[in-house]
Structure 1
């Protein structure tokens, strides 16, 4: 019988986005409906499989995004689709890589659901690209998200701080103004898709905050002090302001955790 960690490794080993999405849906249903019951101890490789396209560039070499015109829309949607494809893998990676933590079943269920949400996001963005005569892989993309995963592979608290509590929290900060910019430029299709992603991101940040608190307390740490220590290690320059305080509050992310780290 397949274990959940084996299922996670199978998704991570799937190079084709369509297969990655198909396997995620199938394994998420198996877990939810009790056909997969054991965590297992299969360990994922350091990097997930990737399709031949898009070409991956260092973040500094990526072209600047535009919000205007069809070309700008395609560039933005393509970049977001790449983030969501990486996020599918990040959801499964946290399930398998940290199975040794022996956390409650709800921990795995939360991150399986995150991976399933990211499948919905990726496919929604793929459809938007198709409506514009484009496809995922047409443009270059950067590898920053998985580099962050590699740097935090040895510590669950570090992974939670960097991925849901910083990178996804940054999405909660920036998505509403991005939607406003697109709407002002006459885009009526992309903002509704981003609103779906935004609402799900709040839940993902909430899962990060919740499980960071649980794991920190299990280790005998004060959660807020531990958060500041990890942030000093991984983001010594602090966090870029302004913050979406309302969205972060909905995620249970307290201002006295992140606001002292603000930089303009």
Structure 2
């Protein structure tokens, strides 16, 4: 019988987005039906396969996006689609990269569902691009999300802190204002898609928080202390306020864990060269 990590690695090895999404649904169905043993010990590749396009640029070299008109809408949708494609791989990577942690079945259930959600998000955004006469791959994209994965490949706790508890949580902070701004500019297409992603992201952040707390309890360390230690080590620039406290609370994310990590101007300047760029955090900030 194939293992879950075999299926995860097959998704990661698929370069074309359509195939990556198709294999994601097959793997999820096989896991739910008991056709995969798990989790298995097939380790994922260092980097997932990617299509020939889009061109990947350093985040600092990415062109600035606009909000108005079809050009701005295409730019935003393309950036979002790229993030969602990366998010599929991030979910399968976390499923297969840390077998030594001996996590319970619920951990794998949660991240497989995240992978399915991200595949649906990508397909939804790609369809919107096609409706505007564009396609995924038409514009350059940045590699920041997978750089975050590489920086946390050694520790499941660090991965949970940086990816769902920081990068996806940032989406909770920025998405409502983005939807409002787009609607003010007359965009009736993009905000509904963002609303779907936003509500799914609450569940994704909740999974990150839940399994981080489980892991720190198993390791016998205080959750808040370990979260802030890992943030200082892996995300030294701190966080960007304002925060969407109600959405973070829905995800079970304790406000006193993260609020004191908000960047002051002095701290932002001091850590400018160390922090991951805001382009990595969200396509909505620009």
- Shorter-chain TM-score above 0.5: yes
Distance in 2 of aligned mates of 1:159 and 1:64: 28
Aligned position for 2:28 = 28
Cα shift at 1:135: 0.2
Q: What 5-or-longer segments of structure 2 have no aligned partner?
A: 265-286
Equivalent-residue separation in structure 1 for 2:261 and 2:97 (angstroms): 29
Give the secondary-structure state (helix, strand or coil) at the position aligned to 1:263. coil
Query: Partner of 1:121: helix, strand, or coil?
Result: helix
Aligned length: 264
**Aligned mates of 2:224, 2:154 — CA distance in 1:** 21
Matched, 1:143 2:143: yes
1:124 and 2:114 matched? no
- State the Cα distance separating 1:38 from its structure 2 match: 2.4
Task: Supply the distance in 2 between the matched residues of 1:97 and 1:234 (Cα, whole angstroms).
Answer: 18
- Distance in 2, matches of 1:121 and 1:225, equals 34
In 2, the alpha carbon distance for the partners of 1:225 and 1:38 equals 32
Tell whether the 8 Å contact from 2:126 to 2:135 is kept in structure 1 after alignment.
Answer: yes
Q: Which moved more, 1:227-236 or 1:15-24?
A: 227-236
Distance in structure 1 (CA, Å) of the matches to 2:35 and 2:7: 12
Q: Is the 8 A contact 2:151 2:234 kept in 1?
A: no
User: For structure 1, which runs of at least 5 residues remain unmatched after alignment?
Assistant: none
| Contact 2:56-2:142 within 8 A present in 1 as well | yes
Q: Does 1:71 align with 2:80?
A: no
Alignment of 1:221 with 2:221, yes or no, is yes
Matched, 1:242 2:242: yes
Supply the RMSD in Å over aligned alpha carbons. 0.7
Structure-2 residue corresponding to 1:7: 7
Question: CA offsets, 1:146-183, max 9 Å, x none?
Answer: 00000100000000000000000000100100100110
Give the structure-1-normalised TM-score: 0.99
